[in-house]
Chain A
Amino acid sequence: MPQPIQFLPPKQDVLSRRATIIDDLRGLLPADCVIHEARELVPFETDAFISYRRMPLAVVLPRTTSQVAAVMKYCHRYGIPVVPRGAGTSLSGGAIPQEDAVVLGLSRMSRIIEIDYANRTATVQAGVTNLSISEAVAVDGFFYAPDPSSQLACTIGGNIGMNSGGAHCLKYGVTTNNLLGVKLVLVDGQVIELGGKHLDAAGYDLLGLVCGSEGQLGIVTEATVRLIAKPEGARPVLFGFSTSEEAGACVADIIAAGIIPVAIEFMDKPAIEICEAFAKAGYPLDVGALLIVEVEGSEAEMDATLENIVEIARRHQVMTVRECQSATEAALIWKGRKSAFGATGRIADYICMDGTVPLGKLSYVLKKTSEIIDRFGLRVANVFHAGDGNMHPLILFNANDPEEAMKAEEAGNEILKLCVDAGGCLTGEHGVGIEKRDLMRHQYTPAELSQQMAVRAAFDEGWILNPSKVFPLEGRG
């Protein structure tokens, strides 16, 4: 029988000093920035990986970098764990606290500091939502490229922590490819700047290290990101196939032919039905699998790219090809896709996997995934970024049935191992969090893992930053 994921046992000395710690935090921050009443702490016990929950010691909601620094300096001094939190939309439990931890919420640092079109950059506070950057510059014809499905709500700080991706990352790259600089509060409260408005900086690429470090190297309070000019036009096109395997093979052929559309998104039949019920986007309901392929550029460019893609799709017996006819329709197609996870809540509870596989293995992994799911007697909906092989099987289960919930986790672990064994990795964009932490040994050799942990220790020797995440609890040295 598999065990639920463990957290580090809380530090008794921290727990016993709870009242003092809260008093001290209230001395460091304005009264409305410290949450400590038991009732009010409950809503912070989890994020979007809701299978796991731990009450925090306290929650702080600072408004400035210097307040963040003051909290870090204090917690570092007394060895109090700190769990950073943006919008709490993590699917891997990245923002789930623990009993001895102070949750450091960045939601009040939500200001856009500067838009610099000359350098094509935006400098924002960490609590700014991903989408609001694009909204702020849309009128001038720009956007911020990485677009996680939760972009409406998730914060740029969280995106940096998890090196988030999104549908349009196939062409534009993930967060790390669009991040130019950060202001980082170190574990002891020192504030440093990494990068700037330029593409590279002298010395080590510490910015690259911080992006994707899941809040374990410091607290990002500001970020400078790259702005990209909007293309002349963009057109999502729906391709319907009879089976998932056929759709998967088509994706591999598109990429192998050297075509890079902006996005290739995949939905299997259950996912199509779920998304259509919410968004009414007009997805074909009579197909076994659907690809949303977005092309962009001038009309001629889009036509030419599309022609090539249609040709490849025909070789895979495409059943329907539907070009969207209006901006409203395009918006609905993306709304449906981006709401897929939440919309799944209409039919069941779910956990969402994030394994990434080489494209040549897409069909194989899809087939194996459904075998695993069948073996566990569960259901699955697949909706994911096919163009970069980033799979998101949503394993459906009933959260009020503990046995089924454990089965879902077990099936998830098998699927992730399958991805690794197929030459891929555990996570494409959601981060390791607690969810995939214990599978890190399946991905990495002990030497590889300890090298990563050594880097971590260079920033946070006492393991107080988001301590239960990323690395297996045993063998941390």
Chain B
Amino acid sequence: MQTSFTPEQLEDPHVAESEKILRRCVHCGFCTATCPTYVTLGNELDSPRGRIYLIKDMLENGRAADEEVATHIDRCLSCLSCVTTCPSGVDYMHLVDHARVHIENTYRRPLIDRLIRSLLAAVLPYPARFRTALTLAKFGRPFAPLLKQVKALRPLAAMLYLAPQSAPVRQETVMRGAQPIRGIRRGRVAILSGCAQSVLDPGINSATIRLLARFGIEVILPEGEGCCGALVHHMGREEEALDFARRNVDVWTREIDNKSLDAIIITASGCGTTIKDYGHMLRLDPAYAEKAARVSALASDITEYLSTLDLPRQEQRRLNVAYHSACSMQHGQKITLAPKLLLKNAGFTVRDPAEGHLCCGSAGTYNILQPDISAELKARKVKNIEATKPDVIATGNIGCMTQIGSGTAIPIVHTVELLDWAYGGEKPAKLTFAKEPAKH
């Protein structure tokens, strides 16, 4: 569509990039139909096309963000369903990223909103702080219903509700450094320990390491890596996000230069989408652009990587698995078939819930910052999943696991936990308490 930027405005590389993105949009409106917030709220302002227009208007006029624009951009889940739908190839992801930074830099949020965002940014990306916070949340939980009554404090209530009743114990099996393998070495990969997942469910990476070791893949957990930066990136806190990215790029570059890496394995698809974007995020940093691009090229979701290993076909298990494709998996990374094929090959019966393209409402910190919309999306997702009558739900993102898990009694596990079990590992603990499936 038509744009009107001055040559001076276009000197800013971020504006220039957004202008290019906007020029691709033909305003056809297809994106509205698959946008979770449009489907929920029925207002074009809460649709990709509406947001694109709001962003265009703000950037063209070189205006600071205001409450209206912030409201509608904040409601965007960054699920990228619109990107899958868009026939014109509008790069909405980088447009909304730019808008979030612009909002963060030019708009002063109400005090409570600022405090909550700062709290999230200061706690979630740091496993030790997060673990402490979860312990504290136990004591705060009785106050959640009270906090819920005040609109501005609802995010705090959401936080307390989301915190698991008991924080998982630190799993000592996950050690830094290289992990032992079985048989002939077929490859060498690094695995992202990351942040929240390592606290909420350390079993996921343990299962991954065991599974890979069984197939001769050496897994290393390099010292010094941490949060991928997605959590703050989606809050528009660009410098913090880039610092996280640079730190991880440094750590992995050391490993690549040292002994070479076949892949950087990520077991949380939300992180995967961001790490695959490091090359873009750091493109304007001459010291990092090339290294970051190299890291992005090596980044691989665990299911993508496992698909290259040609795992042997396993016997049927008579277990119905509802596969929930995280948005960051299907829309962000365009990985749609691999996880399901792996599960089928491993002997599971895979079921596709209806409306699979719609977000579960987790979306990083969205379920804390936008608790009402998030709750509606969760209910819708759980209903669609339960309609497939599954014995277990599998997915590839810790955020979705926490979100969906808080809305259903059906056990939810990471895809890789089922695969580890199918290829000789222990049955996932979450399943041992579930009753044996009846005959289907």
Residues of A within 8 A of B (CB): 35, 37, 39-40, 42-44, 46-48, 50-51, 61, 87-89, 105, 107-108, 110, 127, 129, 131, 150, 152-154, 278, 339-346, 349-350, 399-400, 405
Contacts and interface: CB of A to CB of B under 8 A. Distances in A.
B24 interface: yes
Interface in B17-47: 23-34, 38, 42-45
B54 A43 contact: yes
Contacts of B27: 46-48, 50
B85 to A, nearest CB: 7
Contacts of B23: 399-400
B307 to A, nearest CB: 19
Interface in B278-312: none
A87 to B, nearest CB: 5
B98 interface: no
Given A43-B49, A152-B33, A278 B26 contact: no
B127 interface: no
A88 B29 CA distance: 7
A400 B45 CA distance: 25
B24 A89 contact: no
18 contacts: A35-B45, A40-B45, A43-B44, A43-B57, A50-B26, A107-B38, A107-B44, A152-B33, A152-B85, A153-B29, A341-B28, A342-B88, A343-B87, A343-B88, A344-B88, A345-B89, A349-B1, A405-B2
A152 B89 contact: no
The 5 closest A-B pairs by CB, nearest first: A345-B88, A342-B87, A339-B87, A108-B42, A345-B26
B105 interface: no
Contact of A40 (B33, B49, B68, B87): B68
Contacts of B54: 39-40, 42-43
Contacts of B49: 43, 88
B29 A341 contact: no
A20 to B, nearest CB: 22
Interface string B64-84: 001011001000000000000
B53 interface: yes
B43 A349 contact: no
Given A400-B3, A405-B2, 4 more contacts: A48-B26, A342-B86, A343-B89, A345-B28
B89 A42 contact: no
Nearest to A87: B29
Interface of A: prevailing SS: loop
Nearest to B88: A345
A342 B1 contact: no
B66 A153 contact: no
A87 B43 CA distance: 10
B350 to A, nearest CB: 16
A344 B26 contact: yes
A177 B380 CA distance: 35
A342 B3 contact: no
B4 to A, nearest CB: 8
Given A48-B26, A152-B30, A105 B44 contact: yes
B50 interface: yes
A40 B57 CA distance: 10
A191 B26 CA distance: 36
A153 B33 contact: yes
Contacts of A110: 42
A51 B23 CA distance: 13
Nearest to A344: B26
Given A342-B30, A345-B87, A39 B68 contact: yes
Contacts of A340: 87
Interface string B298-334: 0000000000000000000000000000000000000
A154 B29 CA distance: 8
A16 B360 CA distance: 46
B43 A399 contact: no
Contact of A350 (B3, B26, B68, B90): B26
B258 to A, nearest CB: 39
B140 to A, nearest CB: 31
Nearest to A341: B28
B23, B42, B53, B85: most-surrounded residue (chain A CB, <10 A): B42
B88 A39 contact: no
A285 to B, nearest CB: 18
Contacts of B1: 50, 349, 399
B32 A345 contact: no
A393 to B, nearest CB: 16
B34 A152 contact: yes
A342 B28 contact: yes
A131 B2 CA distance: 29
A420 B32 CA distance: 35
A19 B251 CA distance: 59
A346 B24 contact: yes
Nearest to B44: A43
Nearest to A402: B2
A37 B68 contact: yes
A43 B85 contact: no
Contact of B50 (A37, A43, A150, A341): A43
B403 to A, nearest CB: 24
Contacts of A61: 42-43
A129 B38 CA distance: 12
B69 A39 contact: yes
A345 B25 contact: yes
B27, B28, B34, B89: most-surrounded residue (chain A CB, <10 A): B28
A35 B43 CA distance: 10
B23, B43, B54, B89: most-surrounded residue (chain A CB, <10 A): B43
Contact of A150 (B30, B34, B57, B86): B30
B317 to A, nearest CB: 26
B63 to A, nearest CB: 9
B3, B27, B32, B86: most-surrounded residue (chain A CB, <10 A): B27
A341 B28 CA distance: 8
A87 B391 CA distance: 39
A42 B45 CA distance: 9
A43 B32 contact: no
Contacts of A48: 26-29
A346 B29 CA distance: 15
A353 to B, nearest CB: 15
A311 B315 CA distance: 50
A107 B87 CA distance: 22
Interface in B332-349: none
A346 B89 contact: yes
A51 B26 CA distance: 10
B33 A87 contact: yes
A42 B57 contact: yes
Nearest to B89: A346
Nearest to B32: A153
Nearest to B19: A400
B398 to A, nearest CB: 31
B2, B29, B68, B90: most-surrounded residue (chain A CB, <10 A): B29
